[in-house]
Amino acid sequence: MRRRIRITGLHCASCVRRVEEALLAVPGVSSARADLVSREVTVDCDPAAAEPGALERAIEGAGFGVLRADGGGEEAAERERLRETAGLRARVLVSAAFAVPLLWVSMAPMAGISLPPWIARHGALIQFIFCVPIVGAGLPLFRRGLLAILRTGRATMDTLVALGAGAAFLFSVAESLRHPASGPAHGGGHLYYETAGMLIAFILLGRWLEAAARGKTSSALRLLVGRESRTAVVRTAGGETAVPVEEVVPGDVVVVRPGEKVPVDGRVKDGESCIDESMVTGEPMPVPKRPGDEVTGGTINGPGSFTFEATRTGSDTFLAHVVALVREAQASRAPVQELADSVAAYFVPAVLLVALVSFAVWIGAGRGLGFALTVAVSVLVVACPCALGLATPTAVVVGVGMAAARGILVKSAAALQTAARVDTVVFDKTGTLTLGAPVVTDVTPLGGRGAQEVLRLAAVAEKRSEHPLGGAIVAEARGRGIEPPDPDSFVSRGGRGVEASYGGTALLVGSAALARERGVDLSAAEEALAAREAEGKTAVLLAADNVAAGVIAVADTVKEGAAETVAALRAAGKDVAMITGDNARTARAVARAVGIDRVLAGLLPAEKAEEIRRLGAAGRTVAMVGDGINDAPALAAAGLGIALGSGTDVAREAGGIVLVRDDPRDVAAALGLGRLAMRKIRQNLFAAVIYNLAAIPVAAGVLYPAAGILLHPALAAAAMAASSVSVVSNSLSMRRAWRR
């Protein structure tokens, strides 16, 4: 059983590791994965082995709070996020209101500014009074940090803050008791009230900015969830009744009026309208809907009214599947994150060790307790495991959300990372590069007849045919305004063609071989037949009263954007190939049309998969693009399977990325997004690592002997906050970069 539990108090990679280890220690839990961005933990457990409430107790025992169990209610989660952000904002305002006068009282004498005598006389007490509300505003930091190390013996980012600010505050209180008039104005003992106050104020400011920025990373998911309807109007024998959407079941007849959301998935029964399906496909143009057409829950109705029969409700709807898929992908971990997680496991203990060593070294060097304390506090505060922990998940959340808004469903962070490494793209032909349904491409009249007449006679003969080629001819005739009448007689010749009669004229539509058997003279048609077949098309002959009357070419036409996609992939340095079970002549014709040089034709599904594995064994990172059951083995064998949304369920399950719009151009877009996301992740990790490698030694005072540079704890806190915010902001910049 899988459970999702939202928790509070998750702030850094160390927190993530601690809550995961606490849950894994619960009997019956097989896996636990916490997400720093969504503040949600996903747990796979055996309900028979896990005691009721055991998961919640484990989370609370590790020092975290349980907000809401079993996921769900994204709106409630958003309300909690806004409440948290508002709470942080209030704490920031309180800390700022007292930090400014505290800084003035403590630092003014050092700047040569005289204080009023009564303030100078009671400087220590006044600083204490100003500092206490700031400490109160930061009390959650102290509580979480100290509880973490007391309950589990492991330190977190909050532990570093609590130790740093707490040491400065308690040392100042002790000095104030020893020297009531201490401070810069009186030359007493060292006071660090402003250090503790400014440190907490900057930490709270950073947490507030980080929370606000982190909330933006999940905006795409909230937009999807916001599409869900809350009520539906159901038509029954007793009339129309508005009911909660959860009560709609398959088979119900639902009424949708102009401007309303379609509440669930279904099929139109009565009425017509145009529906905004941009949520599903990313396309802005409304789509006409008539009886028999499918409608999707969450889409928005246009000017018409209609009724439809519900086919999928609740968690089975398309929108529910998309939301679940996006949430799962955003919570997943990219392989590149494993390194950051490994570093984070040892980061906080290492920082504590550096702070202690720095304190001891400066005490031993004779710099005094105050100097050594300043260095130790700066080291504790400047270190930022948060930036390391946020580097990967924020980019994944933003990338997956952006893709979903465009109709590209990324199933996992690993798929996003693989997309960045793809160097070879292999396309299936039918239904992927082509429409997957035959259409008439050419009509060549013979014997003095016009093209319209040839098409009309062929459509009459094929009207009763169930063969796809016959259906394509009838559809083309109707598309040109020709409604073919029923033939007087009709005989199907088993896939070779049909024979019919109409108005006393004997008609034959079929292969050249069938025409020859019936004694038709093909001399006038041979050139047209050969030309169409050389183009990889199926050439169909029309004979009227045993005389060749025309040649109709039928082909599976190339999708719009297919050639553009191949060109874009080649421009990006990818090798492009086509693999198909169709015959070589037809495959080469399609390949020429889209600009693909390498073609593998006539392959069975197992042979397709073997070819993909062979490319992988040669060191290529292969993306396989397909849509059918016969593509599923190759999709599974590829480094990255990209399935078209119009394809079979089997193909979509095998794909790591699903293209809802069925547009080949989204292949290039998906791979481009993977490259962009990985570039942002590398930038984030580089910035986080370089920041910590540079900031910690400076805070430890390595530059002080040579250059006299010493990092004040307040500046250290500001730098730490800035590093976390910069990582989140860099991930958010993906939205602008991808639009360009």
**Residues annotated as catalytic (active site), given as ranges:** 428
Amino acid at 672: G
Contact yes or no for 537/519 (Cβ under 8 A): no
Please tell me the distance from the alpha carbon of residue 690 to that of residue 74, in angstroms, as a whole number.
Answer: 36
Which of 628, 447, 467 minimizes the C-alpha distance to 547? 447
Tell me the three state secondary structure of residue 233: strand
The C-alpha angle 8, 12, 15, rounded to 5 degrees, equals 60
If you compute the radius of gyration of the chain from its CA atoms, what whole number of angstroms results? 35
In order, the DSSP letters of 624-686 are EEE-SGGGHHHHHHSSEEEEETTS-HHHHHH-SEEETT--THHHHHHHHHHHHHHHHHHHHHH
Rounded to the nearest 10 degrees, the angle between the axes of helix 318-331 and helix 385-405 is 160
Q: From CA 181, how far away is CA 300, in angstroms rounded? A: 71
Which residue shows structure tokens 């020429």?
Answer: 592
3-state helix, strand, coil in the chain (%, to 5): 55, 20, 25
DSSP letters for 663-674: -THHHHHHHHHH
Q: Which H or E element spans position 698?
A: helix 665-700
The Cα–Cα gap between 476 and 188 comes to 97
Please, are residues 461 and 509 in contact by the beta-carbon 8 Å criterion?
A: yes
Q: Give the CA-trace dihedral at 603, 606, 608, 611, to 10 degrees.
A: -110
SS3 311: strand
Report which of 63, 41, 45, 67 is spatially closest to residue 54, judged by C-alpha positions. Answer: 45
Nearest to 450 by CA among 415, 407, 480, 413: 480
What is the rounded end-to-end Cα distance, in angstroms, of the chain? 42
Extract the tokens encoding 215.
């909330």
How far is the C-alpha of 423 from the C-alpha of 106, rounded, in Å? 61
Sequence-distant (≥ 6) Cβ neighbours of residue 592 within 8 angstroms: none
| 521/507 Cα distance (integer angstroms) | 14
Q: Residue 54, SS3?
A: helix
Query: Other C-beta atoms within 10 Å of 558: how many?
Result: 19
Q: What residues does 45 pair with on adjacent strands?
A: 29
